[in-house]
Amino acid sequence: MLSAPCASRFLIFATQMTTPGIINLGILSHVDAGKTTTSEHIFFLGGTVAAVGDVNKGTTLTDSMEVERRRGVSVRSAYDRLLWEGQRINLIDTPGHADFSAEVERALQILDGAILVISAVEGLQAHTFALWHALKSRDIPVIFFINKTDRAGANFEKVLQQIQSELGVAVAPLTVPVGQGEDAVMIKSVFDEKQPTAEGFRKLTLENLADYDNDILEIYLAEKSLEESVVHHHLQRQVTARTLFPVLAGAAKWGHGIAELLDAVVRFIPPTIDTATTLSAIVFKVEFDNTLGHLAHVRLFDGSLRVRDKVWNHTRQLEEKVAQIKRRVNGRLIDETFLSCGDIGIVSGFAQARIGDILGDDHAVPATAQVMQPVLTVQVLPNDPAQFAALAAALTQLNREDPRLALKWYKTEHELHVQLMGKIQMEILAETLLSQYGLQVQFGAPSIIYKETPAVSAYGFANYTMPKPCWAVVKFLVEPALAGSGITYTSIVSVDKIRQKYQNEIAGIIAKSLEQGIRGWEVTDVKITLVGGEDHEMHSRPGDFIIATPMALMDALTKSDTKLLEPVFDFTITAAESLLGKVASDLHQMRAIFDSPTFSGETFSMHGTVPAATSTDYAARLASLSGGLGQLRLSLRGYQACPPGEGVSRSYKGVNPLNRSQWILHARGAFRADERRM
C-alpha cells in the first residue's frame, strides 16, 4: 500500500502527464564536482545555448559574474529554462563551496527536485552530507549523478556503495560507465543486455524496487523479464516518496550521460501543477540592475501574476504593483505579461521586496531548509578612508542581495561589519567590491560570533521623565532561560498603568534592545517580564518607551552580569587508523568532547562536539595531515556556555543606553530626524 502523502504525490504527477507544468530543478554538490559543466550540457541539449561553454574558459551560461569566470568557481545561484521531451524545466545551478551555502538555502526553497552530483573520484565529501540533510528536511526528490567517471581513479561502484552506507538510502542505478579514460568512457543503461557490467547494477535496482513494490516483487520472484519502461513507471512513485533514489553515471565534460539524466528528471520528478487559485509566492533573489532598477526574482507556488497586478506582500504587510515581468530565456531577459503557477520570473516594481518575502499568502510556500550558518564576523575597511561612504553604499546593496552578510553599520565608530562563512567568501567579497564598485578593501581580524545570556535573574529600571515633555517608567525582570530558547517576552502590567499603544512600543523594541548586551554581543536565552511602570496622560509621547526600554534592560543585564556563549559544532572525523593518536590529541586541545572511535577496514571514525573557535580551520589541517584522505564534517549544534577564560568580550558599538544623558540626546535626535523625514 502507498502511504497517503506518497499516493497524493503520485496523483499529482499522473495529472501532469497530460498537461505538463514546470519542473524547478536544482543541481547541487560539493565544490568542483561538475555542476556548472553538467548544467551547461543540459542547457545545450535543452536548446537554451547554441554551443557548450567551458568553466575553465569562463564561457558558461550560469557562471556569469566576473569573479566566477576568472576563478572558474560558482559564487551565486543562477538559472535558465529549457525544454526536454516537451517538459519545461527551470534549472538552477548552485555554488558548491560551503562558504556560499546561503545561496543553496535560497535555492532549496524553490525546488521541485534536485540532482545531487558526486565526483566518481572524490566520492562523498563533507559538504555533501550537509546538502543531503537539507534536501531531506525539505522532502525534495533527488537523483544522484556520479560524474567524472572518465577520470583516472574513478570508481562508480565504490561511490554507489558510499551513497547506500553513508547516506543510508536505497539506490536504483539506471546507467553505468563502460570503459575508461578521457573521451573513452561510455554511459550505458543497466537494462542494456549486451553490457555484462550492467547486470549486477540492474539486479540491485530490481531488488530494491521489489522491496517497496509488490507487483515488481511478484514478477521478479517468478523470474519473468521486466521491461525497462515498466520499471520506470513503478520507480516513479518511490522517487517522489523518497524511498528510492535513482543513480546515473556521467562524464559531463564530454557530455556523456546527460541525455539519460534529463530523461530521468522528466520521468521521475513531478512538476508543479497549475492549480492557479490564490497567489502564494516567494521572493528568492533580489538584484539591482542599472537600467531596470530593483528586481525581485519570484517563484510562484500557487496562483499567477500579471503586469499591473497589485500584489500583497505578506511579510511586509504592504501592497506593491507589478511594473514589468521578465523571464530568463536563453541567457537573455524577455518581457512577459503573465507568469503562471509553478514558474520563476523577475518582477520590477516591488521596491520594498526583500529576499524571503512571501507574496499573496503563505499557504503553498514550503519552509526553509538550513545548510550552514555563519559563525564569523569581520570588519571591512576601505583602503582609502575617503571611500567609506561608497563602501557603505556598496555593502548595503550587496547585503540586499545576500542578507546573510548581516551588515552592521556602526555610525558612531565609523565601522562596517559583516558575517561570513569563511576565508573564500571573504576573498570573493573583496574581489566583488573591486570589480563591481572599484573599491579596494581590507579586513580586520575575523572573530567568532559570540552571544551572551544573563548569569542570574535581576530587575532593571528606567525612569525617563526628564527633560519634558516625556514620561516613560518601566521595570523588567530579566531571567536566564533554557539554551536555544531565544528571547521570550511577557507583560504583567495592566493597560491602566501603561496604555496598550505604549506596551506595543515596548514589545516592539525588546529584540533590538538585546542586539548588544554588556559584553558587546547579542543577548539570547533570556526571559523578560515587564513587571511595573507607568505612562502619563499628559506628558507621555510616542517613542518615550522606545527610549526607556533599552535603558532598563541594560540596567538589568548589568545587575545580573552575563555569561558568554560560543557556537559549537557536531563533528564527524574519518581518517586512517594510523592518525588516530594525533587526531585525538588535536581534538583534546580543541576542547572537543567525543565518543570512542569506531573502526572499519583501516579507517576510524569519531563523533562529538567541538567549539567553532578552535575548529574552523581544522578541515584544512586534517586534509594536509592525511594527504587529503581524512574528512571532517561539521554542522552547527547551537550555542553553549564558554568555559571560564575562553571567549572574547567587545566594547559596545554606538551610544550605550547605560550612558543616560548621551543616550537620551542621541535617541531624541534620531526621532526628530525620523519626523523630519516623514
- Interface positions with ligand GTP (CB under 6 A): 29, 31-37, 55-56, 72-74, 95-97, 147-148, 150-151, 251-253
Closer Cβ to ligand GTP, 73 or 556, answer by number: 73
> What nine digits make up the cell of 655?
551610544
Residue 300 interface partner, choices Mg ion, ligand GTP, none, CB cut-off 5-8 Å depending on type: none
Q: Which of 242, 253, 375, 356 is nearest to 299 (CA)?
A: 356
Query: Reduced to 3 DSSP states, what percent helix, strand and coil does the chain have, rounded to the nearest 5?
Result: 35, 30, 35
Query: Side chain identity at 157, as an amino acid letter?
Result: E
In whole angstroms, the minimum distance from the beta carbon of 145 to ligand GTP comes to: 10
In whole angstroms, the minimum distance from the beta carbon of 58 to Mg ion comes to: 12
Q: Left (φ > 0), alpha (ψ -120 to 50) or beta: where does 617 sit?
A: alpha
94 touching Mg ion, by CB under 5 A: no
Neighbours of 87 (CB within 10 A): 20
User: Greatest CA separation found in the chain?
Assistant: 92
Distance, in Å, from the CA atom of 284 to the CA atom of 172, rounded to the nearest integer, reads 32
Residue 357 interface partner, choices ligand GTP, Mg ion, none, CB cut-off 5-8 Å depending on type: none
In whole angstroms, the minimum distance from the beta carbon of 167 to Mg ion comes to: 22
In whole angstroms, the minimum distance from the beta carbon of 191 to Mg ion comes to: 31
Closer Cβ to ligand GTP, 257 or 517, answer by number: 257
In whole angstroms, the minimum distance from the beta carbon of 93 to Mg ion comes to: 6
Residue 44 contacts residue 60 (beta carbons within 8 Å): no
In whole angstroms, the minimum distance from the beta carbon of 100 to ligand GTP comes to: 8
Closer Cβ to Mg ion, 33 or 178, answer by number: 33
Closer Cβ to ligand GTP, 117 or 587, answer by number: 117
DSSP 3-state of 638 = strand
Closer Cβ to ligand GTP, 38 or 656, answer by number: 38
Residue 575 interface partner, choices Mg ion, ligand GTP, none, CB cut-off 5-8 Å depending on type: none
In whole angstroms, the minimum distance from the beta carbon of 52 to ligand GTP comes to: 11
**Grid-cell match 538555502, residue found:** 105
Distance of CA 526 to the CA centre of its chain: 27
Can you tell me which of 16, 24, 29, 36 binds Mg ion, judged by CB under 5 A? 36
Closer Cβ to ligand GTP, 147 or 560, answer by number: 147
In whole angstroms, the minimum distance from the beta carbon of 247 to Mg ion comes to: 21
DSSP 3-state of 229 = helix
**DSSP result, 270-321:** PPBP----S-EEEEEEEEEETTTEEEEEEEEEES-EETT-EEEETTTTEEEE
* Tally of CA atoms within 13 A in the half-sphere of 470 that contains its CB: 20
Site string for Mg ion, 51-80 (x = CB under 5 A): -----------------------x------
Residue 251 interface partner, choices ligand GTP, Mg ion, none, CB cut-off 5-8 Å depending on type: ligand GTP
Can you tell me which of 30, 35, 88, 408 binds Mg ion, judged by CB under 5 A? 35
Give the interface segment with Mg ion, choosing from 29-37, 197-205, 209-217, 289-297 (CB under 5 A).
29-37
Closer Cβ to Mg ion, 37 or 208, answer by number: 37
DSSP 3-state of 9 = helix
Number of residues that bind Mg ion (CB under 5 A): 3
Q: Left (φ > 0), alpha (ψ -120 to 50) or beta: where does 628 sit?
A: left
Opening angle at CA 150, ends 633 and 48, nearest 5: 90
Residue 371 contacts residue 104 (beta carbons within 8 Å): yes
In whole angstroms, the minimum distance from the beta carbon of 155 to ligand GTP comes to: 14
Give the interface segment with Mg ion, choosing from 30-38, 249-257, 282-290, 532-540 (CB under 5 A).
30-38
Give the interface segment with Mg ion, choosing from 28-36, 328-336, 375-383, 511-519 (CB under 5 A).
28-36
Interacting residues with Mg ion (CB under 5 A): 35-36, 74
